Structure 1
Amino acid sequence: MTTPDDREPQPVYLGGPRFQTDPVALYREMRREHGAVAPVVLDGDVPAWLVLGYRELHQVTSDPQLFTRDSELWNQWDRIPADWPLLPMIGRKQPSILYTVGERHRERAAVISGALEAVDPFELKGHAERFADELIDELCGKGECDIVGEYAMLLPLRVLARIYGFSDEQGPGLVTAMNDMINGREGALDGQRHLAESMFALIADKLVRPNHDVVSRMLAARGDFTVEEIAQDLMVMLAAGHQPTADWIGNTLRLMLTDDRFAASLAGGRHSVGEAMNEVLWEDTPTQNVAGRWTSRDTHLGGARINRGDLVLLGLAAANADPHVRTDAAALTGGNNAFFSFGHGEHRCPFPAQEVAEAIARTGIEVLLDRLPDVDLAVPAADLARRPSPWLRGLTALPVTFTPTPALGASR
């Protein structure tokens, strides 16, 4: 006779409200029940593994031959329907850098890194300040706003579009298209089409009239990469740079508005902004889980037997909270950047891209606090809602109040 304690631990569904309300407690329970690597199921009862342990995640991301990005190896393709909701994230034969492996991947990553590394940091900050001021001009006279919907979700892509080489007039349309696509709104397909058409039009223009921008530099350094490949990588960079950066802004401002340690920054100082941003990457990282890796042969990881072709998901947030490395949380958040929030290994977010995201997020937060120094939450902190997603963690809204002030544009 089998008692309840003798039963095999059941896989955890990677979804549902707990990823919205208390993922930290959920990861803790999963670690206690399964160890450093937990069996999970995705939509449609599709099995996968979620790496919860810091050391195990380091192992996976450091071994791209055993844990490869080649999705063709997946042993579940025969049961994946054409309308599976996660296909945009876990696709087959996708042409972007996300699913390129080996030397080809390293060459593509070098093209991206080189183009972003050449972005002038002073110009980048200047663009971020200008667009941040323009957005605040639209709301500063109201005395209240939703920082997420009216600010954070509008800023990153405006800046990225500018350094790509798009005109400032194209920026708002690109932002609307991207947000429609990300949020699955009615215009999602139209948004995807608008982004693709705009990108190919920009590339065609830069092939004829190159300038000092990211797209021109990538085209100049592309070697034997096709225009299609460059376009795919540019669109991946836009999406990867926009939503997580917007969530970084929103999650940091939430922390600063709800934690007394950051009260000085809200009174006009800036010294705690970087500290709050770093703490968010440890404790409330925008990118929670990442798909994925596929095992090229049978192996063992964290006490679990992983079969060839199994899907392995990277639990970035869970690894950041691993008690085996979190012996001193204060020391880890106080300037320590050993978090997994940008990934690790050759498929991690390129370092120049991290610098661009940090510059946009930090400037956006600092400009808002400068312009609206008495900003305060308009609802109890407990009422702030998160998107119900196991992948990206961000607020659905951050309603605030402040003393109405005149727009800067009126005095320029």
Structure 2
Amino acid sequence: MNDQPRHPDAPAGCPVAHGAGITRLYGPESETDPHGIYEQLRKQYGSVAPILLEGDIPAWLVLGYRENRRVLDNPLQFSRDSRIWRDWKEGRVADTSPLIQMLGWRPDCVSQDGEPHRRLRTAVTDNLQAVTGRGIRRHVAHFANKQIDAFAGAGRADLVTDFADHLPMLVLTRVVGLAESEGRSLAESSHQIMKGSADSLAHNKKIMGVLGELAARKRAEPASDFATGLIDHHASLDEDELLNHLRLVLITGHTMTSNLLARALQLILTDTSRRSGLVSGQLDMSAIVEEVMWNTPPLAVLPGRFATSDLELGGCPIKEGDLLVLGLAAGNADPQIRPDTGISVAGNQSHLAFSAGPHECPAQNLGQAIIETAVNVLLHRLPGLRLAVPPEELTSTASTWESRLDSLPVEFTP
């Protein structure tokens, strides 16, 4: 780590100013052991650490639970509006950078604060509430059964690639008003954007093209779906706002739910007591989800916040326009608030997995409905379901923002 470049904005008084190297939060090491990197940074710097993102763009990674909450709860100090991001304003971040797909300003509720944020978020939450109560579990059961039909006779499957990777997007295509045939392609494009791949810009263009066609169709032929609800909402979204909120729901909703579903299945299949408890009805699926939210949140690092003035956080002087990224996984494991990660977190919903503050995830109920229904269908459709490899052979691959389970091979009675 010491042969890496120094943070160009390291102020006097912060630990990084004393000649330490700066860790890149991308590359081979971060792909295989992100939690090891978080702990190494915590030992070296404390609750806030200097890092480099793709293109060696400087940022601060917030590792402490309390520091994460301070940033998330205070939009006046830590804005989501990336137009104040100094490195972007001064031309060090190209518009073609994969970081733009995650951090760049868009006309959506995530990119804004105050009254503009409230107006746009209301349109999203009102319509999510409407579609969540409109037969969502029936849609999940339909697509879950259809996915299972493809492998039920084989007696073997990979519950990541054959199930969790695509199911949430299939459900979301139905929710927003898209054709089922779009689901798998959109899931792959969403994954490439989150991964920060070299062709993430092309995948984003593809998604926006599909959504542009959807918006035109729904204006001409309204229906009972999320897209029509946004078009008709009293917040009066313009075309760019409409398309970007459809994008937001598809990409964020799919990524969060896909990762969470895979991790929940991993926990169930590596702990026979949990699996038997679910089948017998003695254990509620929400308790499984809660545990996953604490230990392996679907977004390990949340992008991002931008300092609106010079201030101090975790002992580091932060400069106006600095980028901060929120270490949700690191914050959940902060020894200051969770000295023993082996202690049960049952009934404790104060994890950071859904973010917090004004920008807290508005689709929690939708994700919960997808996961609970999908797991229920899976357990009842596949008798004798069991892990096909030793638990220690399961691996994950991380990007800057997420850590995805690579595979979950299972066996069952055909």
* TM-score (normalizing by structure 2): 0.88
Q: Deviations over 1:202-245 (max 9, x none)?
A: 22222233222211111111534212211111111100000221
Distance in 2, Cα, partners of 1:57 & 1:181? 24
The match for 2:80 is 69
Q: Alignment partner for residue 221 of structure 1, among 213, 222, 233?
A: 233
Distance in 1, Cα, partners of 2:313 & 2:43? 16
Indicate the RMSD between aligned Cα atoms, in angstroms: 2.5
State, as a whole percentage, how many aligned pairs show the same letter. Answer: 36
The match for 2:354 is 342
User: 2:155 aligned with 1:143, yes or no?
Assistant: yes
User: 2:298 aligned with 1:291, yes or no?
Assistant: no
The match for 1:119 is 131
SS of the residue 1:346 aligns to: helix
- Structure 1 residues 144, 89: CA separation in 2 closer, same or farther (over 3 Å shift)? same
Distance in 1, Cα, partners of 2:192 & 2:39? 34
Could you tell me whether the CA contact under 8 Å between 1:275 and 1:334 is conserved in 2? yes
The match for 2:167 is 155
- Structure 1 residues 120, 21: CA separation in 2 closer, same or farther (over 3 Å shift)? closer
Could you tell me whether the CA contact under 8 Å between 2:159 and 2:408 is conserved in 1? yes
The match for 1:410 is none
The match for 2:389 is 379
Distance in 2, Cα, partners of 1:170 & 1:47? 37
5 Å matches for 1:72-221? 72-77=83-88, 78-91=91-104, 93-121=105-133, 123-172=135-184, 174-175=186-187, 177-179=189-191, 191-221=203-233
Distance in 2, Cα, partners of 1:160 & 1:115? 13
SS of the residue 1:41 aligns to: strand
Gaps of 5+ in 1: 1-5, 405-412
The match for 2:48 is 37
Using the TM superposition, give the Cα deviation of residue 295 of structure 1 relative to its aligned residue in structure 2, in angstroms. 0.6
SS of the residue 2:405 aligns to: coil
Distance in 1, Cα, partners of 2:334 & 2:155? 41
The match for 2:59 is 48
SS of the residue 2:302 aligns to: strand
Distance in 2, Cα, partners of 1:349 & 1:17? 30
Using the TM superposition, give the Cα deviation of residue 181 of structure 1 relative to its aligned residue in structure 2, in angstroms. 5.6
The match for 1:357 is 367
Q: Deviations over 1:257-297 (max 9, x none)?
A: 12344241475657253222111100011100012111111
User: 2:290 aligned with 1:278, yes or no?
Assistant: yes
The match for 1:243 is 255
Could you tell me whether the CA contact under 8 Å between 1:267 and 1:373 is conserved in 2? no
Could you tell me whether the CA contact under 8 Å between 1:67 and 1:293 is conserved in 2? yes
Could you tell me whether the CA contact under 8 Å between 1:326 and 1:332 is conserved in 2? no
Using the TM superposition, give the Cα deviation of residue 197 of structure 1 relative to its aligned residue in structure 2, in angstroms. 2.8
- Structure 1 residues 330, 183: CA separation in 2 closer, same or farther (over 3 Å shift)? closer
Letter in 1 for 2:84: L
Using the TM superposition, give the Cα deviation of residue 18 of structure 1 relative to its aligned residue in structure 2, in angstroms. 4.6
Distance in 2, Cα, partners of 1:183 & 1:76? 21
Distance in 1, Cα, partners of 2:184 & 2:335? 43
Aligned length: 396
- Structure 1 residues 172, 76: CA separation in 2 closer, same or farther (over 3 Å shift)? closer
Q: Alignment partner for residue 321 of structure 1, among 330, 333, 347?
A: 333
Distance in 2, Cα, partners of 1:185 & 1:71? 21
Letter in 1 for 2:220: V
Distance in 2, Cα, partners of 1:275 & 1:167? 33
Q: Deviations over 1:97-127 (max 9, x none)?
A: 3222321111100100001111253601111
Gaps of 5+ in 2: 1-16
- Structure 1 residues 337, 261: CA separation in 2 closer, same or farther (over 3 Å shift)? same
Using the TM superposition, give the Cα deviation of residue 320 of structure 1 relative to its aligned residue in structure 2, in angstroms. 0.8
Using the TM superposition, give the Cα deviation of residue 81 of structure 1 relative to its aligned residue in structure 2, in angstroms. 3.5
